[in-house]
Protein backbone atom coordinates (compact mmCIF):
# COMPACT_ATOMS: atom_id res chain seq x y z
CA UNK A 1 0.00 0.00 0.00
CA UNK A 2 1.16 3.51 -0.67
CA UNK A 3 1.71 5.42 2.53
CA UNK A 4 1.13 9.19 2.49
CA UNK A 5 4.14 9.68 4.77
CA UNK A 6 7.79 9.65 3.82
CA UNK A 7 9.68 6.58 4.93
CA UNK A 8 13.26 5.55 5.51
CA UNK A 9 14.84 2.40 6.91
CA UNK A 10 15.27 1.93 10.68
CA UNK A 11 18.98 1.25 10.49
CA UNK A 12 21.69 0.44 7.99
CA UNK A 13 21.57 -2.69 5.86
CA UNK A 14 24.68 -4.19 4.28
CA UNK A 15 25.00 -6.26 1.11
CA UNK A 16 28.09 -7.72 -0.43
CA UNK A 17 28.66 -9.68 -3.58
CA UNK A 18 29.83 -9.67 -7.14
CA UNK A 19 28.69 -7.27 -9.87
CA UNK A 20 26.92 -9.10 -12.71
CA UNK A 21 28.73 -7.31 -15.52
CA UNK A 22 31.95 -6.06 -13.89
CA UNK A 23 32.63 -9.22 -11.89
CA UNK A 24 33.91 -6.93 -9.09
CA UNK A 25 33.36 -7.71 -5.41
CA UNK A 26 31.41 -4.82 -3.94
CA UNK A 27 29.94 -3.72 -0.62
CA UNK A 28 26.76 -1.71 -0.37
CA UNK A 29 25.41 0.00 2.71
CA UNK A 30 21.87 1.36 2.65
CA UNK A 31 21.58 3.99 5.39
CA UNK A 32 18.61 5.86 6.85
CA UNK A 33 18.18 9.44 5.61
CA UNK A 34 16.14 12.42 6.75
CA UNK A 35 12.89 13.70 5.20
CA UNK A 36 13.10 15.18 1.69
CA UNK A 37 16.57 13.64 1.19
CA UNK A 38 15.45 11.26 -1.56
CA UNK A 39 17.56 8.34 -2.72
CA UNK A 40 21.25 9.04 -3.28
CA UNK A 41 24.26 6.89 -4.16
CA UNK A 42 27.71 7.70 -2.77
CA UNK A 43 30.84 6.04 -4.17
CA UNK A 44 33.00 5.62 -1.05
CA UNK A 45 36.00 4.42 -3.10
CA UNK A 46 36.10 7.81 -4.86
CA UNK A 47 37.34 10.73 -2.75
CA UNK A 48 35.62 13.65 -4.48
CA UNK A 49 32.53 14.30 -6.58
CA UNK A 50 31.29 10.92 -5.43
CA UNK A 51 27.54 11.60 -5.18
CA UNK A 52 25.44 10.08 -7.97
CA UNK A 53 21.71 10.78 -8.06
CA UNK A 54 19.43 8.09 -9.49
CA UNK A 55 17.58 10.35 -11.89
CA UNK A 56 16.42 9.64 -15.45
CA UNK A 57 18.63 12.42 -16.85
CA UNK A 58 21.70 10.85 -15.18
CA UNK A 59 21.25 7.53 -16.98
CA UNK A 60 24.43 7.21 -19.02
CA UNK A 61 23.76 3.69 -20.30
CA UNK A 62 20.68 1.50 -20.32
CA UNK A 63 21.98 -1.44 -22.33
CA UNK A 64 21.60 -4.69 -20.33
CA UNK A 65 21.47 -2.74 -17.06
CA UNK A 66 20.86 0.80 -15.83
CA UNK A 67 23.96 2.92 -15.20
CA UNK A 68 23.84 6.40 -13.69
CA UNK A 69 26.70 8.89 -13.82
CA UNK A 70 27.31 12.33 -12.37
CA UNK A 71 28.83 15.22 -14.34
CA UNK A 72 32.32 14.13 -13.27
CA UNK A 73 31.91 10.72 -14.87
CA UNK A 74 31.54 8.86 -11.56
CA UNK A 75 29.03 6.08 -12.11
CA UNK A 76 27.06 3.30 -10.47
CA UNK A 77 25.61 0.50 -12.55
CA UNK A 78 22.98 -2.24 -12.25
CA UNK A 79 20.98 -0.12 -9.80
CA UNK A 80 17.57 -1.31 -11.05
CA UNK A 81 16.86 -4.23 -8.70
CA UNK A 82 17.75 -2.25 -5.58
CA UNK A 83 15.73 0.72 -6.89
CA UNK A 84 12.79 -1.62 -7.63
CA UNK A 85 12.95 -2.96 -4.07
CA UNK A 86 13.02 0.55 -2.61
CA UNK A 87 10.06 1.59 -4.76
CA UNK A 88 8.00 -1.47 -3.88
CA UNK A 89 8.66 -1.28 -0.15
CA UNK A 90 8.03 2.46 -0.23
CA UNK A 91 11.40 3.85 0.90
CA UNK A 92 11.50 7.56 0.02
CA UNK A 93 14.77 8.54 1.69
CA UNK A 94 18.03 6.58 1.85
CA UNK A 95 21.75 7.06 1.36
CA UNK A 96 23.34 4.16 -0.51
CA UNK A 97 27.08 3.89 0.03
CA UNK A 98 28.89 1.69 -2.46
CA UNK A 99 32.63 0.95 -2.64
CA UNK A 100 32.81 0.06 -6.33
CA UNK A 101 31.11 0.71 -9.65
CA UNK A 102 28.31 -1.88 -9.69
CA UNK A 103 25.58 -2.92 -7.25
CA UNK A 104 26.04 -6.62 -6.40
CA UNK A 105 23.70 -8.88 -8.33
CA UNK A 106 23.15 -11.20 -5.30
CA UNK A 107 20.74 -13.91 -6.50
CA UNK A 108 19.71 -11.98 -9.64
CA UNK A 109 16.46 -10.69 -8.12
CA UNK A 110 15.38 -8.14 -5.49
CA UNK A 111 14.52 -10.86 -2.94
CA UNK A 112 17.50 -10.31 -0.63
CA UNK A 113 17.20 -6.51 -0.74
CA UNK A 114 13.55 -6.71 0.23
CA UNK A 115 14.06 -9.28 2.99
CA UNK A 116 16.96 -7.39 4.56
CA UNK A 117 15.14 -4.05 4.52
CA UNK A 118 11.95 -5.57 5.92
CA UNK A 119 14.02 -7.27 8.63
CA UNK A 120 15.46 -4.03 10.00
CA UNK A 121 12.12 -2.28 9.62
CA UNK A 122 10.87 0.97 8.19
CA UNK A 123 10.55 4.38 9.82
CA UNK A 124 7.56 6.60 9.04
CA UNK A 125 8.01 10.34 9.26
CA UNK A 126 5.12 12.76 9.55
CA UNK A 127 6.00 14.62 6.35
CA UNK A 128 3.85 13.91 3.29
CA UNK A 129 5.23 12.23 0.18
CA UNK A 130 5.25 13.92 -3.21
CA UNK A 131 3.91 12.03 -6.21
CA UNK A 132 4.11 12.53 -9.96
CA UNK A 133 0.72 12.29 -11.59
CA UNK A 134 0.74 11.58 -15.31
CA UNK A 135 -1.62 13.97 -17.12
CA UNK A 136 -1.23 12.98 -20.79
CA UNK A 137 -0.78 9.75 -22.66
CA UNK A 138 2.77 9.47 -23.98
CA UNK A 139 4.10 6.77 -26.23
CA UNK A 140 7.56 5.69 -27.25
CA UNK A 141 8.35 3.14 -29.95
CA UNK A 142 11.52 1.51 -31.16
CA UNK A 143 10.75 -1.01 -33.90
CA UNK A 144 8.65 -3.76 -32.32
CA UNK A 145 9.24 -2.40 -28.83
CA UNK A 146 6.55 -0.12 -27.50
CA UNK A 147 5.82 1.58 -24.21
CA UNK A 148 3.08 3.99 -23.19
CA UNK A 149 2.22 5.81 -20.02
CA UNK A 150 -1.21 7.26 -19.43
CA UNK A 151 -3.15 8.84 -16.57
CA UNK A 152 -4.69 6.66 -13.90
CA UNK A 153 -6.78 7.67 -10.92
CA UNK A 154 -4.85 6.43 -7.96
CA UNK A 155 -2.48 3.66 -8.91
CA UNK A 156 0.65 2.75 -10.76
CA UNK A 157 -0.25 -0.14 -13.02
CA UNK A 158 2.38 -1.94 -15.05
CA UNK A 159 1.23 -4.20 -17.87
CA UNK A 160 4.22 -5.88 -19.48
CA UNK A 161 4.60 -8.36 -22.29
CA UNK A 162 7.67 -10.08 -23.61
CA UNK A 163 7.99 -12.13 -26.76
CA UNK A 164 10.89 -14.47 -27.35
CA UNK A 165 11.43 -16.87 -30.20
CA UNK A 166 12.78 -19.27 -27.61
CA UNK A 167 10.02 -21.81 -26.97
CA UNK A 168 10.46 -21.99 -23.20
CA UNK A 169 10.24 -18.22 -22.67
CA UNK A 170 7.80 -17.58 -25.54
CA UNK A 171 5.21 -14.89 -24.93
CA UNK A 172 4.59 -13.91 -21.32
CA UNK A 173 2.40 -11.12 -20.04
CA UNK A 174 1.55 -9.93 -16.57
CA UNK A 175 0.07 -6.81 -15.03
CA UNK A 176 0.36 -5.50 -11.51
CA UNK A 177 -0.74 -2.58 -9.42
CA UNK A 178 2.45 -1.51 -7.65
CA UNK A 179 0.63 -0.12 -4.59
CA UNK A 180 -1.94 -2.88 -4.17
CA UNK A 181 -0.63 -6.17 -5.58
CA UNK A 182 1.37 -8.74 -3.67
CA UNK A 183 4.81 -8.11 -5.17
CA UNK A 184 6.53 -11.25 -3.82
CA UNK A 185 6.78 -12.93 -7.24
CA UNK A 186 8.06 -9.68 -8.76
CA UNK A 187 10.80 -9.26 -6.12
CA UNK A 188 11.81 -12.93 -6.35
CA UNK A 189 12.12 -13.10 -10.14
CA UNK A 190 15.67 -13.36 -11.42
CA UNK A 191 17.43 -11.85 -14.39
CA UNK A 192 17.79 -14.25 -17.31
CA UNK A 193 19.59 -14.86 -20.56
CA UNK A 194 19.78 -17.33 -23.38
CA UNK A 195 22.68 -19.78 -23.28
CA UNK A 196 23.71 -18.81 -26.81
CA UNK A 197 24.00 -15.13 -25.84
CA UNK A 198 26.54 -15.69 -23.04
CA UNK A 199 29.52 -15.75 -25.37
CA UNK A 200 28.34 -12.53 -27.05
CA UNK A 201 27.93 -10.80 -23.67
CA UNK A 202 31.42 -11.89 -22.58
CA UNK A 203 32.92 -10.58 -25.82
CA UNK A 204 31.31 -7.23 -25.06
CA UNK A 205 33.04 -7.27 -21.67
CA UNK A 206 29.74 -7.95 -19.88
CA UNK A 207 28.42 -10.71 -17.62
CA UNK A 208 31.87 -11.26 -16.04
CA UNK A 209 30.19 -12.04 -12.73
CA UNK A 210 27.32 -14.02 -14.24
CA UNK A 211 26.64 -17.57 -13.07
CA UNK A 212 23.77 -19.95 -12.45
CA UNK A 213 23.69 -18.54 -8.89
CA UNK A 214 22.58 -15.11 -10.14
CA UNK A 215 20.84 -15.57 -13.49
CA UNK A 216 18.44 -17.97 -15.13
CA UNK A 217 20.07 -19.48 -18.19
CA UNK A 218 17.78 -20.93 -20.83
CA UNK A 219 19.07 -23.41 -23.39
CA UNK A 220 16.46 -24.51 -25.92
CA UNK A 221 13.45 -25.59 -23.89
CA UNK A 222 15.47 -26.17 -20.76
CA UNK A 223 16.34 -24.06 -17.73
CA UNK A 224 19.94 -24.89 -16.78
CA UNK A 225 19.56 -23.80 -13.13
CA UNK A 226 19.11 -26.65 -10.68
CA UNK A 227 15.84 -25.60 -9.11
CA UNK A 228 14.21 -24.40 -12.33
CA UNK A 229 11.90 -21.37 -12.10
CA UNK A 230 10.66 -19.62 -8.96
CA UNK A 231 7.26 -18.76 -10.42
CA UNK A 232 5.37 -19.39 -13.66
CA UNK A 233 5.93 -15.95 -15.13
CA UNK A 234 9.43 -15.38 -13.77
CA UNK A 235 10.73 -13.91 -17.05
CA UNK A 236 8.11 -11.22 -17.45
CA UNK A 237 7.96 -10.67 -13.69
CA UNK A 238 11.65 -9.83 -13.74
CA UNK A 239 11.02 -7.31 -16.51
CA UNK A 240 8.34 -5.72 -14.32
CA UNK A 241 10.87 -5.48 -11.46
CA UNK A 242 13.33 -3.78 -13.83
CA UNK A 243 10.57 -1.43 -14.96
CA UNK A 244 9.68 -0.48 -11.37
CA UNK A 245 13.34 0.26 -10.60
CA UNK A 246 13.75 2.33 -13.75
CA UNK A 247 10.52 4.26 -13.08
CA UNK A 248 11.78 5.25 -9.63
CA UNK A 249 14.42 7.31 -11.42
CA UNK A 250 11.62 9.80 -11.98
CA UNK A 251 12.55 10.91 -8.45
CA UNK A 252 9.13 10.29 -6.92
CA UNK A 253 6.45 7.65 -6.97
CA UNK A 254 4.21 7.80 -10.01
CA UNK A 255 0.45 7.70 -10.54
CA UNK A 256 -0.15 6.38 -14.02
CA UNK A 257 -0.48 3.31 -16.15
CA UNK A 258 2.38 1.73 -18.09
CA UNK A 259 1.77 -0.67 -20.96
CA UNK A 260 4.94 -2.12 -22.43
CA UNK A 261 5.69 -4.75 -25.03
CA UNK A 262 9.23 -6.07 -25.42
CA UNK A 263 10.76 -3.08 -23.70
CA UNK A 264 13.59 -2.76 -21.23
CA UNK A 265 15.78 -0.25 -19.42
CA UNK A 266 16.42 1.91 -22.45
CA UNK A 267 12.81 2.16 -23.59
CA UNK A 268 11.59 3.04 -20.08
CA UNK A 269 14.23 5.76 -19.85
CA UNK A 270 13.35 7.16 -23.27
CA UNK A 271 9.67 7.26 -22.34
CA UNK A 272 10.34 9.11 -19.09
CA UNK A 273 12.60 11.62 -20.84
CA UNK A 274 9.74 12.30 -23.25
CA UNK A 275 7.26 12.72 -20.37
CA UNK A 276 9.46 15.23 -18.53
CA UNK A 277 10.23 17.20 -21.70
CA UNK A 278 6.88 18.94 -21.38
CA UNK A 279 5.46 20.22 -18.09
CA UNK A 280 1.92 19.62 -19.30
CA UNK A 281 2.50 15.88 -19.26
CA UNK A 282 2.64 15.58 -15.48
CA UNK A 283 1.99 17.30 -12.20
CA UNK A 284 3.93 16.99 -8.98
CA UNK A 285 1.89 17.23 -5.85
CA UNK A 286 2.14 16.62 -2.18
CA UNK A 287 -0.21 14.14 -0.61
CA UNK A 288 -2.09 15.97 2.12
CA UNK A 289 -5.36 15.32 3.94
CA UNK A 290 -7.24 17.54 1.48
CA UNK A 291 -6.17 16.03 -1.83
CA UNK A 292 -5.93 12.48 -0.58
CA UNK A 293 -8.24 10.14 -2.49
CA UNK A 294 -9.61 7.61 0.02
CA UNK A 295 -8.53 4.56 -1.90
CA UNK A 296 -5.06 5.92 -2.49
CA UNK A 297 -3.51 5.03 0.80
CA UNK A 298 -3.38 2.45 3.49
CA UNK A 299 -6.62 2.73 5.42
CA UNK A 300 -4.77 2.32 8.73
CA UNK A 301 -2.81 5.44 8.00
CA UNK A 302 -6.00 7.30 7.21
CA UNK A 303 -7.46 6.35 10.55
CA UNK A 304 -4.33 7.47 12.34
CA UNK A 305 -4.48 10.89 10.66
CA UNK A 306 -8.10 11.28 11.72
Residue ranges that bind Zn ion, judged by CB under 5 A: 191, 242
| Residue 212 C-beta: closest distance to Zn ion, Å | 16
Rank residues 153 and 200 by Cβ distance to Zn ion and give the closer one.
200
| Residue 190 C-beta: closest distance to Zn ion, Å | 8
Distance of CA 167 to the CA centre of its chain: 27
Whether 301 is a known active-site residue: answer no
Residue closest to 75 by CA, chosen among 48, 41, 33: 41
| Residue 110 C-beta: closest distance to Zn ion, Å | 9
- List b or e across 129-150, with b for residues whose CB sees 16 or more CB atoms inside 10 angstroms: bbbbbbbeebebeeeebbbbbe
- The strand ranges marked E within the chain are 5-9, 13-18, 25-32, 39-43, 51-52, 59-61, 67-69, 75-77, 94-98, 122-128, 130-134, 138-142, 145-150, 156-163, 171-177, 192-194, 216-219, 222-223, 253-261, 282-286
Yes or no: say if 193 and 218 are a contact pair by the CB < 8 Å rule: yes
Rank residues 83 and 287 by Cβ distance to Zn ion and give the closer one.
83
| Residue 264 C-beta: closest distance to Zn ion, Å | 9
Rank residues 3 and 66 by Cβ distance to Zn ion and give the closer one.
66
Rank residues 52 and 106 by Cβ distance to Zn ion and give the closer one.
106
Catalytic residue among 21, 238, 265, 301: 265
Rank residues 138 and 176 by Cβ distance to Zn ion and give the closer one.
176
| Residue 237 C-beta: closest distance to Zn ion, Å | 11
Distance of CA 282 to the CA centre of its chain: 20
Distance CA 306, CA 299 (A): 11
Q: Give strand pairing partners of 174.
A: 160
Task: Give the residue numbers marked as catalytic.
Answer: 265
Amino acid sequence: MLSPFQKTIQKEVIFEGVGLHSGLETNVKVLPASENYGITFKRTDVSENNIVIPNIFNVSSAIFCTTISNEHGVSVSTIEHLMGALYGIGIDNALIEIDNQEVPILDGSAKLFVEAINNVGINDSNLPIKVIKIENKIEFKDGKKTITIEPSKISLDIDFELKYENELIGTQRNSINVYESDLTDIYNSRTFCLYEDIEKLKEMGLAKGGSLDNAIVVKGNEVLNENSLRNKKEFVNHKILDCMGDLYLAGYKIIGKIVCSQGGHKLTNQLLRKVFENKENFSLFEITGKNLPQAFVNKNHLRSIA
